[in-house]
Amino acid sequence: MRTYQVVRSKTAKTGVLLKDPGLDRYIPETELYSRENLARMLNKYKYVYVKPDCGRGGNKVISINLDDGGSCSIHYDTRILKGKTVAEAAALVERISAGAPFIIQQGIKLLTINNVPFDLRVNVQKPFNRWEVTAMIARLRAPGKAVTNFCQGGRLVELKQAFTLAGLKPQACDRLKALLTFIGEKTAAALCRKYPHLRELGLDIGLDRQARPWIFEVNTRPQYVRGLDEKFDRYHRLIEQSTVKKYQTK
């Protein structure tokens, strides 16, 4: 039986990817949450995401916009709070985080389909000795939400269809698909050097308005969506059957 490794900390995984010279350009700037870092990141990017270091499923994910007049609008779940100060935004984050480590990430204005933002899930699996990108899918944000997670009502759309609906030309679609495959394989190789017992990865990748990819996070035990792809299903079953789970929190 093989082992199946799970790494929960987004900071730990992002740290590994940032050290890879081929991948660092695809990682949004990320800091641990503190009042000072929130103020600094808001001033620098005007738009940030604040989320649990070890969260999943889009839970407790907050986006904050700093407008020209210096007031914040905060998007949490389906609520948008306007006209808040940075100190008020920090107080809300601290109420939600309740002492757990949170991270602040440069916010990416996502590419849209009919004004609905979407991002991507890129699945990479290692059923035997080699990592392979086996499925890619687009996820549209559910109405009113700041996240695209499937379990938060995000809607799945076939990749090519999403690219076309977002206005990308066929040549750009092919180039982007090849780049996403490269990013998926390179991410797997980089993480596997540090965490050798990983078997399945789900990369959450956003595309900015220039269709440039940004890695939001890498899941090491991605939520499994049956029927995405025959090979993906087969590899998933193979991995499930041949592994003993070993959990690692950092």
Ligand X SMILES: Nc1ncnc2c1ncn2[C@@H]1O[C@H](COP(=O)(O)OP(=O)(O)O)[C@@H](O)[C@H]1O
Burial of 70 (0-12, 13-18, 19+ CB in 10 A): exposed
Residue found under tokens 């990430």: 105
Which residues between 192 and 231 bind Mg ion (CB under 5 A)? 204
Q: Does 217 interact with ligand X (rule: CB under 6 A)?
A: yes
- Say which residue the tokens 């549209």 belong to: 140
CB atoms within 10 A of CB 236: 23
Per CB under 6 A, the list member of 15, 57, 167, 170 interacting with ligand X is: 57
Residue type, 42: L
125 binds, among ligand X, Mg ion, none (CB under 5 to 8 A by kind): none
Q: Is 93 among the residues that bind ligand X (CB under 6 A)?
A: no
Among 4, 7, 28, 202, contact with ligand X (rule: CB under 6 A) = 28
Query: Of 83-91, 92-100, 143-151, 186-194, which part binds ligand X (CB under 6 A)?
Result: 143-151
Stretch that binds ligand X, among 54-62, 93-101, 130-138, 164-172 (CB under 6 A): 54-62
CA contacts within 13 A on the Cβ side of 106: 13
Q: Would you count residue 55 as binding ligand X (CB under 6 A)?
A: yes
Q: Which residues have CB under 8 Å from 158's CB, separation 6+?
A: 137, 138
Q: Does 53 bind Mg ion (CB under 5 A)?
A: no
Query: Is position 222 an interface residue for ligand X (rule: CB under 6 A)?
Result: no
Question: Dmax over Cα atoms in the chain, in whole Å?
Answer: 59
Distance, CA of 179 to CA of 169 (rounded, Å):
15
| Distance, CA of 151 to CA of 138 (rounded, Å) | 14
**Which of ligand X, Mg ion, none is residue 49 near (CB under 5 to 8 Å by kind)?**
ligand X
177 binds, among Mg ion, ligand X, none (CB under 5 to 8 A by kind): none
Decide which of ligand X, Mg ion, none touches 105; Cβ closer than 5 to 8 Å per partner kind.
Answer: ligand X
Residues 140, 155: Cα–Cα separation, whole Å: 5
- For residues 34 to 53, the per-residue mask of contacts with ligand X, x marking binding by CB under 6 A and - elsewhere, is ---------------x-x--
Please report, in angstroms and rounded to a whole number, the separation of the first and last CA atoms in the chain. 23
User: Which residues form the interface with ligand X (CB under 6 A)?
Assistant: 28, 49, 51, 55-59, 61, 105-108, 119, 147-149, 204, 206, 216-217
